[in-house]
Amino acid sequence: MSFLNKLTASLPFGKKEENKEYFFAVNIGVEQLAAALWIIDGKELKILETAAQSYSSNEEIVSTLDKLLDQVIGLKEIEPQKILFGVPNSWILDDNLKDEYLKLLRNLVKELELTPMAYVATSNALAHFLEKQEGVPTTAILVGFEDKHLTVTVVRAGKPDGVKVIIRGENSGSDIEKALLTFTDVETLPSKILIYGSSSGELKSQLASFSWMSKLSFLHFPKIEVLTDNIEIKSVCLAGGSEINESISYSDQPVKKQVERLNILEEDAGISDKSEDQISGTLPSSDISDSEDPFESAKQDNFGFMVGDVAKQNQNDFSSEETESEVAGGTGLVPPQEHALDIDDFEQETSLPAKPAKAAKKLNFKRFIPGSFTTLILLLGVIISIVLIAGAYLFLLKADIKIFVEPKIVEKDAQVVADPNQKAVDEEKKIIPGQVVNVEVSGSAKDSATGKRQIGDPAKGTIIVYNKTSDSQSLSKGSQMSGPGGVKFTLDVSVNIASQSASDSGITFGKTNATVTAVAIGADGNLPSGSDFIVAGFSSDKLAAKSEGNFSGGTSKDVTVVSSEDQQRLLAKLSSDLRKQGQQKLQEKYPNKKILEEALSESTTKKSYSKNINDQAGEFSLNMTVNYKGTAFDDADLKTIVSKLVTTQVPDGFRIDLSDTETQADVSKLEKDGKLIFLAKFRAKLLPKIDTDKILNQIKFKDPSQAMDIIKGMDNILGSEIKITPSLPGPLQRLPILSKNIKIEVGLK
């Protein structure tokens, strides 16, 4: 590149705007379709628009998706050609799409005239998304809510153990419990539940008060958290972006600039003669015709953790006439784009033919002898200046160079036991020493009561009981009888009723008065005088009763009381707070040990509610004292176990730095004798070995831009930063001649 070209390239105007490639993504849920428009801007994934709509059958997918894609494009003057799919786990069998759904997706892309990129199971995409956001593999229960269904996924160390879809009932906690009981292979469930989807924010408080410990194998009461909106379609987009660029990062920020029309770009940039593929810099894509199956012409690339691209299936369907160039043409899986090298990297300097030497002139030495003392002084000054400048370049000039390398990530996991009876690390059996620790924590919390109950008084009154038999009858206290409307009453005292008697005027029934009280509170028992009653256990032709005077005193009203759910919710909240306090206190007490909050067993020594169940109250409180017991271990011992597994996987040309590693422990089981069994995951960054002596020899006395180009052209190097002291004007800036004045530091950006 000439000096003029370099100069104009650095100017802030006259640059041609980069034409970005836009992609579609769609997630197919049990009841809902979600679509997104996304791009990759440098190393950042940007989701521009999302839209979602319910559907009731597979026949509606094409028409519904067509509407959604129009919505996400809106008024943008762009025409994305490629689409990425997120599909339910039920669509996949042995890592391949089932034939019926393969046919469905083929028809879909043909109708929409789009190029398929790949597909991914939504559960895998969610696990990958959470790992990218949190920085560590997730261990949790994921629960997605739709209007009529919920999807439960158990994820351990970033990998789904299983997925269950069930129809929603009246109680979401019971629905999740029903789904989790089907995971018979999971010995201990993760103590974290992440919810997302329809009304998930409103369901958090309901799930927090559910009795999770009664039937399920939790170590302690699970923590409930709500995930971000539209997380499924965002996860699918990130899955696709990660396969195009492994170091992709996600941002919710929309792209500020709209894409301009292609013909305007052509006119402004003066490139109207170039083809559209040349302008965009994307792979050329062929049109989808009726005779061409876009899934069958897909490129057979590995999509990482993706389940696979649709084109991997039914390979026997490929036409033998398809050439390699047709398969690689834009109708297949989007491959990771390799960075094109600048043409300048391939240019080599060639020597021009030497010009014939001119005839030597006769030297006139007198012109080198100064004509005066002043001229001599000036000449000496020039010589001294040259010597000083040369000395400065040689001895004073120093450079600090930071070289940024691209690491390889190595992950390894193993089941480890922390045993209090173990004295030393056993690398073969993967056992490390443990230490039993315990702490007692007290605390209190309060909450609002939400239960409802009626309070009031029952109605009372007097009745006359008639005996229509020839024998006397007795009714004991508490005997029941029913008035009009089925309102029940009981006798306040025991009574005897004489038998009927005969006289000249006819038969006279035996009778007696008695007081009665309504069984239930409320005004329904306030009966008028003369109301008929039926005596329980007797027919009306033997015993009968009638009210004497009006009944009164029956009242009722609704009040707020403490419910069982209220107590459970407050207990879960306080237990979670005390567990965190217990883990913090233990960590302060044993600062050099690692103590897992999830692995602490608890025993409640004191629990006291200010109000009992059904007590009238607007607010109530709970005081509780809990003893937490667990097994602590040294993180260095854990690294010793797992790092040994990693060091065997270090490829040639790389080195492992054990000081820059991460360990994660997912609790599997805490036994009664204090043995802690957990899944330990080790994550290490392997740094490439860089020959700094070779770099020094190649960049000495080069200008900074030349040195940076030389460094960037080497394997496994992303870039560099150069700082030269003292600072000199641009044309004079050079790296030191002496190697000892150049300091090179290799690390991550």
- 265 sits in which H/E element: helix 262-269
- For residues 482 and 540, the answer to whether their CB atoms sit within 8 Å is no
**pLDDT, position 459:** 95
Residue 574 neighbours by CB under 8 Å, 6+ apart = 443, 444, 445, 622, 624
Helix (H, G, I), strand (E, B) or coil at 431: strand
Say how many C-beta atoms besides its own lie within 10 A of residue 330's C-beta. Answer: 17
- Whether 743 shows a pLDDT value over 80: the answer reads yes
**pLDDT, position 325:** 30
Domains of the chain, earliest start first: 22-124+233-327 (3.30.420.40), 133-230 (3.30.420.40), 452-560 (2.40.30)
Can you read off the two tokens belonging to residue 98?
Answer: 């089932």
- For residue 54, name the pLDDT band (cuts at 50, 70, 90): very high
- For residue 164, name the pLDDT band (cuts at 50, 70, 90): very high
Q: What does the pLDDT average to over 170-178?
A: 89
**Given the structure tokens 């689409």, which residue do they identify?**
83
**pLDDT, position 253:** 56
How far, in Å, CA of 42 to CA of 663, rounded? Answer: 30
Residue 65 neighbours by CB under 8 Å, 6+ apart = 26, 33, 35, 108, 112
Among 63-72, 196-205, 662-671, the least confident range: 662-671
How far, in Å, CA of 639 to CA of 636, rounded? Answer: 5
Q: What does the pLDDT average to over 523-542?
A: 92
Q: What does the pLDDT average to over 697-724?
A: 85
**Given the structure tokens 């009304």, which residue do they identify?**
199
Residues 526, 531, 536, 539, Cα dihedral to 10°: -170
**pLDDT, position 320:** 32
pLDDT tens digits for 142-158?
999 998 999 999 998 88
Measured in whole angstroms, the distance separating CA 731 from the mean position of its chain's CA atoms is: 51
Query: Which amino acid would we find at residue 259?
Result: V
**pLDDT, position 204:** 85
- For residue 513, name the pLDDT band (cuts at 50, 70, 90): very high
Is the omega angle on the peptide bond into residue 433 within 30 degrees of 0, that is, cis? no
In DSSP terms, which residues pair with 154 in a beta bridge? 141, 162
pLDDT tens digits for 568-591?
999 999 999 999 999 899 999 999
- For residue 626, name the pLDDT band (cuts at 50, 70, 90): very high
Question: Percentage of the chain surpassing pLDDT 70?
Answer: 79
Helix (H, G, I), strand (E, B) or coil at 281: coil
- Whether 307 shows a pLDDT value over 60: the answer reads no
- For residues 722 and 735, the answer to whether their CB atoms sit within 8 Å is yes
Residue 428 neighbours by CB under 8 Å, 6+ apart = none
- For residues 25 and 83, the answer to whether their CB atoms sit within 8 Å is yes
- For residues 28 and 86, the answer to whether their CB atoms sit within 8 Å is yes
pLDDT tens digits for 401-441?
998 887 878 777 788 899 999 999 888 888 999 999 999 99
Query: Which amino acid would we find at residue 161?
Result: D
Can you read off the two tokens belonging to residue 621?
Answer: 């409180």
pLDDT tens digits for 186-197?
778 888 999 998
Q: What does the pLDDT average to over 686-702?
A: 85
Where does residue 198 rank: exposed (0-12), middle (13-18), buried (19+ CB within 10 A)? middle
Can you read off the two tokens belonging to residue 316?
Answer: 């026997």
**pLDDT, position 306:** 42
How far, in Å, CA of 473 to CA of 535, rounded? Answer: 12
- For residue 252, name the pLDDT band (cuts at 50, 70, 90): low
How far, in Å, CA of 465 to CA of 513, rounded? Answer: 6
**pLDDT, position 410:** 78
* Beta pairing class for 510-521 and 398-405: unpaired
**pLDDT, position 604:** 92
More confident residue, 63 or 262: 63
**pLDDT, position 545:** 94
Q: C-alpha distances in angstroms, 714 versus 55, 141, 166, 246?
A: 53, 45, 54, 20
More confident residue, 566 or 374: 566
Can you read off the two tokens belonging to residue 716?
Answer: 């496994």
Can you read off the two tokens belonging to residue 92?
Answer: 């996949």
pLDDT tens digits for 679-691?
877 777 788 888 8
User: For 700, which DSSP code?
Assistant: T
Among 69-83, 245-259, 731-745, the least confident range: 245-259
How far, in Å, CA of 556 to CA of 572, rounded? Answer: 33
- For residues 115 and 331, the answer to whether their CB atoms sit within 8 Å is yes
Residue 309 neighbours by CB under 8 Å, 6+ apart = 116, 117, 118, 119, 295, 298, 301, 303, 332, 333
- 228 sits in which H/E element: none
- Average pLDDT of the residues of the chain: 78
Measured in whole angstroms, the distance separating CA 78 from the mean position of its chain's CA atoms is: 30
Among 17-26, 184-193, 257-266, 366-375, the least confident range: 257-266
pLDDT tens digits for 254-267?
443 333 333 333 33
Question: Percentage of the chain surpassing pLDDT 90?
Answer: 34
Measured in whole angstroms, the distance separating CA 728 from the mean position of its chain's CA atoms is: 50
Is the omega angle on the peptide bond into residue 726 within 30 degrees of 0, that is, cis? yes
In DSSP terms, which residues pair with 223 in a beta bridge? 192
Extract the runs of DSSP E, i.e. beta strands, from 71-114: 82-87, 92-93, 96-97
- Whether 300 shows a pLDDT value over 70: the answer reads no
The dihedral sign for the CA sequence 72, 73, 75, 76: positive
Can you read off the two tokens belonging to residue 289?
Answer: 């015709």
* Beta pairing class for 115-121 and 82-87: parallel
